[in-house]
Chain A
Amino acid sequence: MFSKLSRKLNLFALTWRLPIIIWQFVFFVGPVLFMVAMSFFLVKNYRMTEAFEFVNWSKMMNRGYFWDSYWYTVFIAAVSTVCAMCIAFPAAFALAFRASDSTRRWAIFLLIIPFFTSYLVRTFSWFVILSESGVVNAMLGSIGLGPFTMLNTNFGTLVGYMTLTLPLVVILQTVTMANIDKTLVEAARNLGCSAFRTIWQVIIPLSKTGLIIAAIFCFILSFGDFVAPFYLGGSQEPTLPILILDTTKSGQQWPRAAVVAIMMMLTLFAIAFIGIALAYRKPKGAK
């Protein structure tokens, strides 16, 4: 009787889970498998034909411009992650430890608001601020500095990445640190740890998991972003998303674009895997 009942329950649960399972297969697993297959297709007379050749892989892997773009993208996404984590930390720290509960709630609400507006629109608004005749250069000019070129530089790309990632990183860091047991911070103070030193000795170790997850998110978003490097960075040094666009435009090379996309996915898988492993690692020397 019980087994019958549990089977009924399983059917009931399955019915509810089915839509998301179907969705994942149709719109995620399927396309990924197709993309992998496509990376072995050939393009003849600007038309893709089914085949199983390694020519796309060998061409892309042997091209200097692919690896230049690959390492540049890894580098700029890593710089973006470090910048976002550092810029966000003092704000998140203040919200987690100094602000009242209601202030913290309001701050998190306000940090969600940027997501209401299109990221593209927020990116374009930086033109007004960063261009040669923009707000920043006008202000610097009034004290005799500049003008500085900020658009179409790495700096511009990073500003775009920050626009994309900072609100999320601040929220993740705040929520993580707000949840740590304040008694542990007091215990450290009680044992001779100065207020500043508790950040390294207690707060960062305690919020390690959340901080690493924030960093992973930041890296993934920056690594895969097309808008910031294209519009604010000027795509002078193309990142991988720009490379994908260029590859598809030039000669309909969808299979080679698929190779780039697969490389990106593998990189993100590796980063996420290493990050999660680090985040949940046991203390040093513990059995």
Chain B
Amino acid sequence: MRNRLEEIRKQRNITQEELATTLEVSRQTIGSLENGRYNPSIILALKIARYFKMYVEEIFIYEEDI
């Protein structure tokens, strides 16, 4: 699964620390999400989508193995 978290966060001039504090996760979690090392739980994905006022699918893109 890839995501557009970094792109969206930078568009809105939000730092990783600010996003982490709002979502009540560690800054490392945001970093890992952005570079694709970690896939979020459904709850965290929904929290992120709600924070950016977007749909989950607009941020997280599920790609099936071909």
The answer to whether A and B come from one shared complex is no
B residues engaging A (CB < 8 A)?
Answer: none
A residues engaging B (CB < 8 A)?
Answer: none
